[in-house]
Amino acid sequence: MTDFPGKGKVAVLKTSPATILDDIERLMHLAGLEAALPKNVQTGLKINISWQTWYPACSSAPWQIEGVILALKKAGYTDIVGVHNDTVVVDTADGEQNNKHRFVTDKHGVPCLYLYNQDFEWIEYQPKQPFLVLDKVYPQGVFIPKALQGMNIIHLPTVKTHVFTTITGAMKNAFGGLLHRNRHWTHSVIHDTLVDLLMIQQDIHPGIFAVMDGTFAGDGPGPRAMRWHEKDILLASADQVAIDAVSAKLQGFNPLDIRFIRRSHEMGLGVGDPRQIEIVGYDIEQEQPWGFVQEDTFASRGQKLIYHGPLKPFEKILLQSPLVPWAYFASNFYHNVYWYPFVGRPRVEAALQTKWGQLFKSYGDGQVVMPGMQPETVRQAAAGLAALAGLALGLAYLANKKRKA
C-alpha cells in the first residue's frame, strides 16, 4: 500500500487553442502540483515520442510540453529537463524535430537528457518488494538510468488506445524511460511489467505527476495507426493509476477490465476504480460516449502470435536473438512504407485543417513534415521482404520438424 499527496484525485478540463497554456497551468494546480512535486530537486519531463512523424494524438503535443514548462517556472521550479528515450522503431532525433518538441524546449531554455546516449550510466535496481515479472524477464538484473534516481518525473502522454495494453497513458509512458532497448522482451507480460515499473518509480522519484493531452485523441490500432478525434480535453494527476483509469473510462473501457490498472489498484499503488476517484474541474459525466475500440495492425497480429499464440515456442529465437531485426523491419515496413503514405497522410492533411492542426502548424517554422514513399525506404522494404520470406521458410521447416519429432 502506497500513500502520496493526490492519490485518487484527477483534474480534468475542457480547453481550446486560445486558452490551452493557461488551462494547463490551472489543471496542474487543480491536481495538486506543488504538494506532489518537491521544488528542491530536478524535475524531468518524460516526453513521449511514439512516432518520428507527426500524427494526431500519437506523441506529446508541443502545447502540452510548453504549458507544463510555463506552469512549472511560474510555480518556482527552476531545474527542469526534458527526458527522451529511443526505441528500435522510432528515431528520437527526427521525432523531436517533426513533432516540434525541440522547438519548445529550445525556446524555453530546457535542456534534454537522451537516455540512449552512451554517456548515461545504467545501474542495477534492487527492488524493495518482489517484482511480478521483471526479474524473470531479466534474470541477470533489472537496470535503470542512474540519472532518473532522485528526480521528480512528469509524464506527458496522450489519450489513445494501444494494441497491447488496450489504452496507453501515464503508466505506459515510463516503459521507455526506465527500461533499455531490450524492453520489447517484456511485451508478452506487458501489463505486469507496467505494475513493476510503477513500483520502481514510487521508490526512486521524490514526486510523480502526469499531464495527459486529449485535444486530439486516438482510437483503433494505437499508438500509431489510429483514427484521430478532436476531444478538447486535458487530464492531470499525481496518481498514475487514477489518470489512466479516467482516460480509459472516457474512451469507453471499464478500467478494471484492463489488467495493469486492476493489478495496480489491488496492490494499492493508486486508485483504479472510477467510483473511488475524485474528479475535479470538468464533470466527465457530461461527455457523450466516445465509443473507442482497440484494434490490431498487421504487425501487432504477428507479434501476438509470438507472445501468446502458436509461435510462442519460438519467442526467444525470434525476439531475443540475432534474428530480432525482422520484427523491427515488420513494424517499420507496415507503418512507414504502407500505412502512413497511403492511409495516414490523408488523415494528417485533414487534421491540419482543424483548430488543433492549425495550432500544431503554427509552432516553429510553420511547416509539417509529411513523408511519402521515399526511394531509400522502398529499397529497405524490398530487402526486408526478402529476409522475411527466408525467415518464414525457416519457421515452417522448424515447425514441421517439431511435429515429426
DSSP state string for 142-208: -EEEGGGTT-EEEEE-EEEEETTTEEESHHHHHHHHHS-GGGGGGGGGHHHHHHHHHHHHHHH-S-E
CATH topology for the 9-295 domain: Rossmann fold (3.40.50)
Position 388 scores a pLDDT of 52
Instruction: List 83's β-bridge partners, or say none.
Output: 46, 113
| Angle formed at CA 178 by CA 317 and CA 334, multiple of 5 degrees | 50
Position 161 scores a pLDDT of 98
The three three-digit cell numbers of residue 123, written as one number = 545501474
Residue 232 gets the label, from left (phi > 0), alpha (psi -120 to 50) or beta, of: left
Position 387 scores a pLDDT of 55
Measured on CA atoms in the order 269, 274, 275, 280, is the torsion positive or negative? positive
Domain boundaries, the chain: 9-295, 299-404
Q: Which amino acid is at 394?
A: G
Chain centroid offset of residue 318 CA: 24
Position 323 scores a pLDDT of 47
Q: Which amino acid is at 13?
A: L
CA distance 250 to 143: 35
Q: Which of 65, 256, 80 is nearest to 151 (CA)?
A: 80
| Angle formed at CA 164 by CA 161 and CA 167, multiple of 5 degrees | 25
CA distance 363 to 274: 36
CB 259 within 8 A of CB 224: no
Question: What b/e sequence results for 345-355 when a residue is b if at least 16 CB atoms lie within 10 Å of its CB, and e otherwise?
Answer: bebbeebbebe
Mean pLDDT in each 10-residue stretch from start to end of the chain (405 residues)? 92 98 98 98 97 96 98 98 83 92 98 87 94 94 94 98 96 90 78 97 98 98 95 98 98 98 98 98 96 81 62 58 57 82 94 98 94 58 55 59 61
Q: Which of 91, 24, 84 is nearest to 48 (CA)?
A: 84
The three three-digit cell numbers of residue 256, written as one number = 478494471
Residue 77 three-state SS? coil
